[in-house]
Structure 1
Amino acid sequence: MIKLLRFLKGSAILCAIIAPLMMLLEVSMDLMQPTFMSQIIDVGVAGSNTPYILSIGGNMLLAAFLGLIGGSGCSFFASIATMKLGQNLRQGLFNKIQTLSFHEIDTLKTSSLITMLTNDVTQVQNMMLTALRIMVRAPFLCIGSIIMSYYLSPKLATIYLIALPIIILAIIFILKYSYPLFLLLQSKLDNINLVMRENILGVKVIKVFNIIDKQLHRFNLANEELKNANIKAQNVNMILWPIVSFVMNLTVIAVIWFGGIMVSKDLLQVGIIMAFINYITQTMNSLIALITIVINYSRAKASADRINKVFSMVPSIKNKEQAKNFDNYEIEFKNVSFKYNETSEYVLKNINFNINQGEKVGIIGSTGSGKSTLVSLIARLYDATDGEVLIGGMNIKDINLTQLRENISLVSQENTIFSGTIEDNIKFGNLSADENLLIETSKDAEAYDFIMKKEKDFQSNIEQRGHNLSGGQKQRICIARALIKNSKIFIMDDSTSALDMATEARLQNSIKKRLKDKTMIVIAQRISGVMDADKIIVIDNGEISAIGSHDYLMNNNEIYRSIAISQLGEDVKKIG
């Protein structure tokens, strides 16, 4: 929790200082009220002294007004500090996630990250609000009530020596056992977010395969687990309430019993007993408030630990202190092998090849052979486990990461589309692009025609994840986004699979003209997408089976030849 206070910045720090000071004013006024009351009873009422009663009553009204100012001021400044902490924490967490490499992100569930940015941050925020208000009020009111009680009657105040240790031990016990329960609760919340996300994203599959009942059962199970975890965690904490109430009620009984005996012996005045009971009530209320703090702290600590786990992650891919720039775009793989983690098998094994600047290179192979993984190493989305990836003769790990990615355009097979307008999505590749470049690029990507058929053309809205676009339309917008970036290295990762043969042929021709003198890497499932490449790399089970032109591979590589014949028929041999 304390580590996250670094996100309390600027004016929020001043608000966080003023808030508890205002609360001290309220507590001080509250502590004076029972003493004023005892004075009215023992002096004013007992002596029928009306002016004295009015005078002390006026003091009570003034104290109440000052307490109102203190309490209202504390709430105002605490709210500002808390909201700004939440804002800064969410921003910091989001920024941190953006700096993580794919290796770290792969270890974090999307549902867990969403929970952190929403529920976990809210728990920390609520704890901060509680700390600035109740955590200041409760201890001072509790300690102040005990001191004032001792001031009124040292002998009667010894009752606290029995009551308080019992309550303190109960709080420590509950705090110890509630923390792991709230940690489990957050994991169950992650799970229900995961189930909901999968069901929302996979709603078409669920309906087509008629597995609504199965998914409903899965959600009900996750919901039941969340409910049970919540009940268990809350039940442990709720034990504190009856314990405190029982102990403090016994304390009130003891005060009335022993205080009555002392009054009968003229050792104590009735007004003091009344004030004493009020101080016990204040002590009890402050202890109940402390219980709320304990409950919030248990949950907030579980959330804070999860958030700190993300902040403590060190990105495996980052710039070196003396990162270098490059001006040669020749790509070389030297004995490169790769696996996603220590326990997994190698996805790529001993990869060696060279791509000259300005060449068009095709990569083809069966599904799961490692094609996408290979090009992700060029953009340094992952680092090679063994061997070296070189650009311009320099190890990619020594190159300035920003410059590297500015010079690479990657169209992935996932076709990620953002909500907004079509223009916004295309301009992600180049925010400063003018209208002429936007139109030219969309034409080269074979996207212009369908865009102009829309009611607002480039200003047409795109729904979340591009649900109002077809698969081919999404692919062409993604290609336009990459083309408008005008990078030196252009990578297409099976990004024309949703296009018909004629559209793909026109697209390939437009891109070839536009990217003349640029390095182009094309991953394709269809032979037609790579036939005209300067060289084609055939990947099989994570290894290079062969490298060469279409003609060479048709005559010398069985894997390539079988793929070509299966797609184009026996006539493809004539081409070869």
Structure 2
Amino acid sequence: MKLIWKTTIQYKKLLLINFISVFGFALAELGIPTLIAQMIDRGVNQKDPATLRSDFMIILIIAFLGVLGTSILAFTSTRISTNVTYDLRKKIFDHSMGFSHSEMEKFGIASMITRTNNDAYQIMLFLNTILRSAMIAPVMMIVCAILIIKTSLPLSSIIFVTIPIIIFGVIYFAKVTAPISEKQQKALDSINRILRENMSGIRVIRSFNKEKEEEARFQKENAWYTSLSTRLFKWMSCSEPVFFFLMNLASVLIYYFASIMISNYTLQIGQLIALTEYLFHAMMSVLVFCMVFMMYPRANVSAKRIQEVLDTKISIQDQGEKSLKEVNELTFSHVSFHYTGGEEKVLDDLSFTIKKGEKLAVIGSTGSGKSTLVKLIPRFYEPTKGEILINDINYEQYDLHSLRKQIAFMFQKPHIFKGTIRENISFGRSDASREEIEEAATLAQARSFILEKGDGFEEEIDEEGANLSGGQKQRLSIARALLKQASINIYDDSFSALDFKTDAMLRKAIEPLQKDSIFIIVAQRVGTILDADHILVLNEGKQVGFGRHEELLKTCPIYKEIVLSQISEEEVEKYVQKTALS
């Protein structure tokens, strides 16, 4: 709960006002019964009109102060709790934006959404209850105890025996419900994960006719969450009847003994009425205390889950002081890599150099580490051995922002944001002009289908680009990368959804741009990489070939095998002869 306290203490002025307003509420709730008792015992019984009038005027003033205190209390508690929730969500989001792929994979997207939304909301409810009600409880309990003892010491013993029993029950309840709350939040993570998978993969599920199986999978997690919630609510529902039973029992005993005392003239009727009000407020304060303890396990679990995110050390540290303005050379020097928790090397001892104006093609069988290799360049991951140099300087010495500013990355699976086509293309350069956006779309062979849309570049794109085809999404993503005008352009199998004609037109269109930057292309089609300055061949994470196409045909059996699986031997021979003649 340190997290909640540290975040809340920032609002010192509001907390002070909140604390002061508590006394306004207490004054009204306890001052009015005291004055009413005085009006009955002195004003009515002794027939003193002056006392009645003066006490009535004081009651009006106290009532006004009570309304004012309650209003301020409601405002400050709401303001603080919502601000704290805002701060927590901002902390989670800002911290998670620095996560590498490893940290994000550790928590999972569904769990991160739950922690940011649901867990922060649980803390808001808990904090609002504390500030609005629980801060009143100790004040009311102390003042009520003093007033009860002052009114009647014999009757006070009944109340002071009842309250410890309730407090013991509350502590026991908190211990029992804490593990249930923790399991409940984890079950909610699973529900969110399955729901997200089903919503994003609905076409795959339907194509394999797996609706029933997915319904059963969701039903299993939903039933588990319901079971945990039912157990939790049973405990919560049991606490209230027990509380009111003890309160009513105490009231009956007080009325019984009070009637004897009144008949013996040791207690007045006004005092009994005041005592009953004190009892009610004392017991209600205990009830509020119980509510806080009932909410505490869930809030504590939520706070721990948020703290777990905030305590997670970011593996990619931005400690570089140099600013990268331009990339002239990129070098991998004996680079090896394995994922966190895994011992098997995904990449093993890679060494190569690419210079400005050159194009590198990376090819290899599925699982050979091609995508992992290019993800090292923008520091989505970092090498576990060796180093990556840019302009002969280890790229960790560069400021991370300036490094990534020089890189345009086109992922294998393009991601399209909800918004207009123009906003998606200009995502990397918000200051780009209309002409520059249209030029990038033209180069990416996207202009024709954009203009066919009703609103052209202002056409709204649905979530995840649902109203676009795979090829259209790829071309928009390519346009986004081209518009950035970066020093390093990385295309991770980014032309897979394009037909051969569009692919050829696109490559021809962007060819003039290659002289000003480094182009790295992860490819599956051999026909598209024949003109590359360098071809890097990977096999099981190892570098088995590096050179031009014609060189690798002679020196790299694995590359020749890949080529022959796509092009006939006669066509390969013709290409070799043509290259030799030229």
Residue deviations 1:276-302 (CA, integer Å, cap 9, x gap): 121111111111122221122221111
1:364·1:538 contact (CA, 8 Å) conserved in 2?
yes
Residue 470 of structure 1: aligned partner: 469
For the pair 1:221 / 2:198, whether they are aligned, the reply is no
- Alignment correspondent of 2:489: 490
Task: Name the residue aligned to 2:63.
Answer: 64
Partner of 2:353, secondary structure, is: strand
Aligned CA distance change for structure 1 residues 207 and 342 (closer, same or farther; 3 Å): closer
CA deviation after TM superposition for structure 1 residue 50, in Å: 4.4
1:244, 1:287 within 8 Å by CA — same for their partners in 2? no
Q: Distance in 2 between matches of 1:321 and 1:511?
A: 32
User: Could you say which residue in structure 2 is the equivalent of 1:20?
Assistant: 19
Residue aligned with 2:565, SS = helix
1-structure distance, mates of 2:450, 2:313: 43
Cα offset for 1:13?
A: 4.5
- How far is 1:344 from its partner? 4.6
Unaligned 5+ residue runs, structure 2?
577-582
CA–CA distance in 2 between the matches of 1:573 and 1:566? 14
With the length of structure 1 as denominator, give the TM-score of the two structures: 0.96
2:255 counterpart letter in structure 1 = I
Equivalence map 1:508-519=2 (5 Å)? 508-519=507-518
Please name the residue that 1:558 is paired with.
Answer: 557
Check conservation: 1:29, 1:63, Cα contact below 8 A.
yes
> Is 1:447 the counterpart of 2:466 in the alignment?
no
Q: C-alpha distance in 2, partners of 1:244/1:8? A: 31
Aligned pairs (5 A) from 1:422-461: 422-461=421-460
Query: How many residue pairs were aligned?
Result: 575
Percent identity of paired positions between Structure 1 and Structure 2: 35
Question: Amino acid of the residue matched to residue 574 of structure 1?
Answer: K
Aligned with 1:516: secondary structure?
A: helix
* Helix, strand or coil at the partner of 2:532: coil
Alignment of 1:79-478 (within 5 A): 79-320=78-319, 322-323=321-322, 325=324, 327-478=326-477
Instruction: Indicate the SS of the match to 1:552.
Output: helix
Deviation at 1:51, TM superposition (A): 4.5
Q: Comparing 231-240 with 361-370, which one deviates more in the overlay?
A: 231-240
Say yes or no: does 1:572 pair with 2:565.
no
Corresponding residue for residue 74 of structure 2: 75
- Matched-pair contact (CA < 8 Å) for 2:325–2:406: no
Counterpart residue type for residue 513 of structure 2: R
1:5 is displaced (CA, Å) by 4.6
CA contact (8 A) 2:159 2:279 kept: no
Query: 282-291 vs 378-387, which deviates more?
Result: 282-291
Distance 2:48 2:4 in 1: 57
Q: Is the 8 A contact 1:411 1:478 kept in 2?
A: yes
- Judge conservation of contact 1:445–1:507 (CA < 8 Å) in 2: yes
The 3-state SS of whatever aligns with 1:184 is: helix
- The answer to whether the 8 Å contact 1:124/1:304 transfers is yes
Query: How far off is 1:474 after superposition?
Result: 0.6
- Contact 2:335/2:386 (<8 A) preserved: yes
Checking the alignment, whether the CA contact within 8 Å between 1:259 and 1:273 is kept in structure 2 is yes
Q: Distance in 2 between matches of 1:125 and 1:203?
A: 34
Tell me the CA shift for residue 25 of structure 1.
0.3
Shift of residue 321 of structure 1? Answer: 6.0
Over the aligned positions, Cα root-mean-square deviation in angstroms equals 1.9
Unaligned runs of 5+ in 1: none
Instruction: Determine if contact 1:20/1:133 at 8 Å carries over to the other structure.
Output: no
What letter is aligned with 2:572? V
| CA displacement, residues 58-108 of structure 1 (integer Å, 9 cap, x when unaligned) | 433332232112112211232222222222322222111111122211101
Alignment-mate amino acid for residue 527 of structure 2: S
- Give the aligned residue type for 2:380: L
Q: Whole-Å Cα distance in 1 between the matches of residues 531 and 99 of structure 2? A: 38
Deviation at 1:128, TM superposition (A): 1.8
CA drift of 1:6 comes to 4.5
| Residues 1:559 and 1:399: Cα distance change in structure 2 (over 3 Å) | same
Alpha-carbon distance, 1:305 to partner: 1.0
TM-aligned CA deviation for residue 565 of structure 1: 2.1
AA in 2 matched with 1:438 = I
CA contact (8 A) 1:24 1:136 kept: no
Give SS of 1:567's match.
coil
TM-score by length of structure 2 reads 0.95
Partners in 2 of 1:275 and 1:5 — Cα distance? Answer: 37
User: What's the offset of the Cα at 1:163?
Assistant: 1.4
Any idea what the Cα deviations from partners look like across 1:523-546, whole Å, max 9, x if unmatched?
001112211101101111111121
Alignment of 1:42-57 (within 5 A): 42-57=41-56
Q: Which amino acid aligns with 1:168?
A: I
CA distance in 1, matches of 2:231, 2:446: 56
Check conservation: 2:350, 2:542, Cα contact below 8 A: yes
| Equivalent residue letter for 2:560 | R
CA contact (8 A) 2:537 2:543 kept: yes
